[in-house]
Amino acid sequence: MKRFISTLIIAFLLLLSVVAAEQYTIDFSTTPEKITARDNPFAHYDDLGELPELAVTVKDSAGQPAKDISITVTVTHVDDLILPSGFPWVQGKELFSVTSYEEDGALTVDGLLFPLRGEYTVDVTVMDWTGNSQKETFTVEAAEPFKQSTWNGIIFVAALGIFGFIVGLVFGKDLIASKKAQGKMGNILGIFVLLLVIAIPFTVAHSEDEIGESGIVHYEDSQVLFYTNPEVPDIGAETYFTVEVKDENGMPVNNAIAQIELANEEEGFVVLETAIFSQTGTFTFQYGIFDGAPHLATVHIEATEASSYQFVPIEREYAFAGEAHNPPFTAKLIATAVMLLAMLVGFAAGVAVRACKKSKCSEGEHHE
């Protein structure tokens, strides 16, 4: 009987906790609303201004800012691109994720560079002190400037088409006149296509020296430990950055805030700016490195009013790099197919123009 009553009491308490679980309203926004992607690694980008800011606000059922909650934001690229991006190895991968304790129900990522064009999902998960968890998913769109990659791509494809047109115009006469020449031209074209396909695996975007630039990321002094997981970052793979901080006396700091900036040193632009609040002195975030260039992490940690004791602000800089890769075979195959198609279309147009001219000439001679 006692066991039965105890079971009823436990069931009642569980039901009560479910009913009493707080329902939060989660809002997400970006500033500016229109996000610019940096999709082409070979294009020169003018100053794109401030990086897009990501803001999450959480309110309780009474419409007031939620108190003492943990907010997790995860940004992931949606791999629905027809043509490969400039960074194909990170298509469809998680770009960024951070969890921060927030007293006032608001989390702001000061700046995040979106490297790929297309759609991204933003998953926001909220957890309160009771363990009650709630999740919302949002979407954002990033577009690259037309005058950058798109315009350059149009010019490049047009140039290939013009080249094919000239070839068709020059050799079109012989190709039309002789079936033997047609067979010969077909053989030459077939050999050319075969050579292109064979060359695809050997097309590289990075030299062996550049691929070997990355190394183990592990820095430690009397106050700060900075490391990544995996130890050797790899572009296209999730990389977790961890910063463990102690005060002047060797004790872990508490209720502190870390300002973190990641920058691409080779190109000279910032890829991430964010602040993380930690109750334990350990700050962790995930950033998917999309470029094998050398990077620099700048970390600034300081106490807050909630810290049990104040300490002198700490600032460090750490160099790191992701292991570079050459584009995947499929991306190179698609790029080759587009170039080949442009030349073939131009070539066919050139032959057609040549045939048209020959036909008109023949008609003129017949009338005479």
What average pLDDT does the chain have?
A: 80
For the segment 204-222, what is each residue's pLDDT rounded down to a tens digit?
444 444 444 557 899 999 9
pLDDT score, position 18: 43
Total-model pTM = 0.73
* Mean local confidence (pLDDT), 26-40: 88
Reduced 3-state DSSP string for 263-310: EECCCCEEEEEEEEEECCCEEEEEECCCCCCEEEEEEEEEECCCCCCC
pLDDT score, position 236: 80
Distance CA 61, CA 142 (A): 33
* Confidence bin at 322 (pLDDT 50/70/90): confident
Q: Is the pLDDT of residue 152 over 70?
A: no
* Confidence bin at 64 (pLDDT 50/70/90): very high
Q: Is the pLDDT of residue 163 over 60?
A: yes
Strand pairing report for 256-264 and 294-303: antiparallel
For the segment 81-115, what is each residue's pLDDT rounded down to a tens digit?
776 666 777 889 999 999 999 999 999 999 999 98
For the segment 293-309, what is each residue's pLDDT rounded down to a tens digit?
899 999 999 999 989 88
Structure tokens at 327: 């584009």
Q: What's the Cα-to-Cα distance from 51 to each of 31, 34, 48, 275, 301, rounded to whole Å?
A: 9, 11, 8, 15, 22
Q: How many CA atoms lie within 13 Å of 275's alpha carbon, on the beta-carbon side?
A: 15
* Mean local confidence (pLDDT), 332-351: 73
Phi-psi region of 364 (alpha: psi -120 to 50; beta: other; left: phi over 0): alpha
Percent of the chain whose predicted confidence (pLDDT) is above 90 = 43
Answer with the residue of higher pLDDT: 285 or 292: 285
Q: Is the pLDDT of residue 80 over 80?
A: no
pLDDT score, position 340: 75
For the segment 224-276, what is each residue's pLDDT rounded down to a tens digit?
999 999 999 988 889 999 999 998 888 899 999 999 999 998 878 899 999 99
- The H-assigned helical ranges of 63-219 are 151-177, 179-199, 208-211
* Confidence bin at 158 (pLDDT 50/70/90): confident
Structure tokens at 133: 């968890």
Helix (H) or strand (E) holding 218: strand 218-220
Q: Is residue 182 classed as helix, strand or coil in its secondary structure?
A: helix
Q: Is the pLDDT of residue 43 over 70?
A: no
Q: What's the Cα-to-Cα distance from 179 to each of 10, 170, 186, 256, rounded to whole Å?
A: 90, 17, 10, 81
Which residue ranges form the domains of the chain, and what is each CATH number?
A: 22-144 (2.60.40.2550), 148-200+339-367 (no CATH), 208-321 (2.60.40.2410)
pLDDT score, position 134: 95
pLDDT score, position 17: 46
Distance CA 263, CA 318 (A): 11
